Amino acid sequence: MELNIIRLDHHGRGIAFIDGKIVFVDNALPGEKVKVEVFRETSKYKEARVVEYITLSEKRTKSKCPFYEECGGCQLRHISYDDTIEFKKNKVLEILKKYADLEPKPEIIKNKNREYYRNKIELQIKDGSIGFYKKRSHELVEIDRCLNAEEAINSFLLNANLLHINNGNMTIKTNYNGELIVVINSDEEPEIEIEALREKHKLVGIILNGKVLFGSNHFIEIIDDMFFKESFDSFFQINRYINSELFRLIKENINSDETVLDLCSGVGTLSIIASQKAKKVYGIEIVENAVRDSLINARMNKRENISFMLGDAFTGIKKIKDKIDTIILDPPRNGLSKDGIINVLDSEASKIIYISCDPVTLSRDLNVLKRKYDIEKFYILDMFSYTYHVECVCILKRR
Ligand SMILES: C[S@@+](CC[C@H](N)C(=O)[O-])C[C@H]1O[C@@H](n2cnc3c(N)ncnc32)[C@H](O)[C@@H]1O
C-alpha cells in the first residue's frame, strides 16, 4: 500500500494515516511517498516498513553507517546533523507545550564530535557473532564497528573474537586515555586470550558475571582536569564533550555564597563541579558503591566543602538542616517520585537546576514545579547524536 508521510513522531519515525488510523513508518521522512508493508497492528495504530520509496525528500541523506538500515542503535542517520538538531528542538518544545503548557526559548548545545562520541556501548553476542539487536526484535545485526563509539572501543571490536564467547552480552567502557573495561555476562566459562588482548589494547579490566576476571573493576576518567573514579557498574555520562558542557552550565549557574543540594549525585561529578563555586555542597545517592566512589572523587579533586549521603534523595531532602539555595536534580529517566517533587517544592530553594534525559518526565515534573518556579534558562544538549534521545538542562527560579 502507498502512503504519504506527513511528519515525524518523537522517535524519528514517519507518520501517515490509513483510513484515519495512524501508521508509524521507520526510515520515512515528511513529504515522501512510500510503499509499505504493515508488520504490527493494534486497535490504535499500525507499524510499517518501507518496501519502496516512490518520491524521496530533499532532506534525505545517505547514512555513513553500513549497518544503519537494520541496526536499532540510531534512528536519525538518514537526515543531516543540523536536521537532527531541528528535530530534537521541535520534539522538546512540543512535549513541554503538551504536558506542561510551557514555551521556553532553548539554547542549543551541539555535539563537537558528531561521530565516535560514546564512551560506552552495550552489545549482544549470539552464536559467536557480536552486534546490536535489530529494531524491535531479538535478531542480531552483526557489526565490526559502531560510528557512535569511541575509537578505542571500535579497535577492541576488531579483536573481540579473542574473548571466545558464543552467547551473552557485553558492555565496553573507555576513558580519556583509551583504556578499556569489558563487562561480560554469559553462562559460559570462556578461555579469554587476555595477554593477546593486552598486547593490542589498553585493557584495564575484564568483569565476568559481576566478578573481576582480570585487572581492575574501575578506571579514572579525566574531564576538564578533574579526576573521577568510574567503576564498571556506575553511572557516567556517555559523552565526554557534552559532559564537559554540562559542567560549564553548572558552574555558570552557581554563585559563591550558595549552599547546594545535589540530588541523585552518582559518583559525585556534579557535586564536585558545583563545589568549585559554592560555599557548601550536599550530595545524596541511592547506590552504595557510587557514594563510595564519590567520597574518593571528592578527595582526589581536593574538595573539602562536600558531604555525600547514602539514601533516597527525595526523602533525604528533609534531613538537610542547612538552608539550601540551589538544588541540582539529575534523576534517572523516570524523573522524580510523587513525594519527591512535593519535597522539592517545599524545600524553599531559590533555584533548581534540572538535568534530564527524558523530556516527557521532565515536562511532567515541570508541570508541578511551575506552581512556584519560573523557567529562567533552558538548554538542549546533543548528548546522543543521530538518535532520538536528547538531554535538557532547565534553570528554574523561585517566584
Ligand atoms: C542520571 S544519573 C546522574 C548521576 C550524576 N549526576 C552524574 O551526572 O553522573 C542518576 C543517578 O540517580 C541515582 N538514583 C536513582 N534513584 C535514586 C533515588 N531515589 N535517590 C538517590 N539517587 C537515586 C542513580 O543511581 C544514578 O546514579
For 231-253, write each residue's pLDDT tens digit.
999 999 999 999 999 999 999 99
Write the residue with the smallest CA distance to atom 25 of ligand 1. Answer: 287
Cβ atoms of 74 and 344 within 8 Å: the answer is no
Q: Where are the domains of the chain?
A: 2-60, 85-113+239-398, 120-220
Question: What is the distance in A from the centroid of ligand 1 to the CA of 294?
Answer: 12
Atom of ligand 1 nearest to the CA of 246: 8
Mean pLDDT score of the chain, rounded to an integer? 96
Write the residue with the smallest CA distance to atom 7 of ligand 1. Answer: 266
Mean pLDDT for the stretch of residues 336-364: 95
Q: Quick one: pLDDT at residue 136?
A: 79
Whether 134 has a pLDDT exceeding 90, the answer reads: no
Rounded alpha-carbon distances, angstroms, from residue 184 to 72, 112, 188, 212, 253: 21, 30, 10, 10, 40
Comparing CA positions, the residue from 393, 381, 309, 388 lying closest to residue 112 is 381
Cell 573507555 locates to 174
Q: Quick one: pLDDT at residue 82?
A: 98
Write the residue with the smallest CA distance to atom 13 of ligand 1. Answer: 264
pLDDT band at 135 (very low <50, low <70, confident <90, very high): confident
Helix H or strand E encompassing 6: none
Instruction: Encode pLDDT of 248-305 as tens digits.
Output: 999 999 999 999 999 999 999 999 999 999 999 999 999 998 999 999 999 999 999 9
Do strands 7-8 and 45-55 pair parallel, antiparallel, or not at all (unpaired)?
Answer: unpaired
Atom of ligand 1 nearest to the CA of 236: 9
Comparing CA positions, the residue from 237, 232, 233, 235 lying closest to residue 250 is 237
Mean pLDDT for the stretch of residues 179-187: 97
Rounded CA-CA distance 349/399 in Å is 11
Instruction: Give me the count of residues in the chain.
Output: 399
- The 3-state secondary structure of 218-233, one letter per residue: EEEEEECCEEEEEECC
Q: Quick one: pLDDT at residue 80?
A: 97
Helix H or strand E encompassing 291: helix 288-300
Comparing CA positions, the residue from 239, 242, 223, 10 lying closest to residue 108 is 242
pLDDT band at 96 (very low <50, low <70, confident <90, very high): very high
Structure pTM? 0.95
Whether 137 has a pLDDT exceeding 90, the answer reads: no
Q: Give the number of other CB atoms < 10 A from CB of residue 51.
A: 10
Rounded CA-CA distance 175/217 in Å is 13
Main-chain phi, psi angles of 376, to 5 degrees? -95, -45
Q: Quick one: pLDDT at residue 74?
A: 93
Question: What is the distance in A from the centroid of ligand 1 to the CA of 269?
Answer: 11
**CATH code, residues 85-113+239-398:** 3.40.50.150
What does the DSSP assignment read for 247-275?
HHHHHHT--TT-EEEEES-TTSHHHHHHH
Check if 266 has its Cβ closer than 6 Å to any atom of ligand 1.
Answer: yes
- Grid cell listed for 379: 538548554
The answer to whether 2-60 and 85-113+239-398 have equal CATH topology is no
Mean pLDDT for the stretch of residues 183-199: 96
Rounded CA-CA distance 66/62 in Å is 10
Cβ atoms of 1 and 21 within 8 Å: the answer is no
Mean pLDDT for the stretch of residues 74-96: 97
CATH topology classification for 120-220: OB fold (Dihydrolipoamide Acetyltransferase, E2P) (2.40.50)
Superfamily, domain 2-60: Nucleic acid-binding proteins (2.40.50.140)
Cβ atoms of 384 and 245 within 8 Å: the answer is no
Question: What is the distance in A from the centroid of ligand 1 to the CA of 102?
Answer: 26
Give the largest Cα separation in the chain, rounded.
66
Rounded alpha-carbon distances, angstroms, from residue 16 to 49, 166, 171, 286, 337: 12, 41, 37, 44, 36
Check if 285 has its Cβ closer than 6 Å to any atom of ligand 1.
Answer: yes
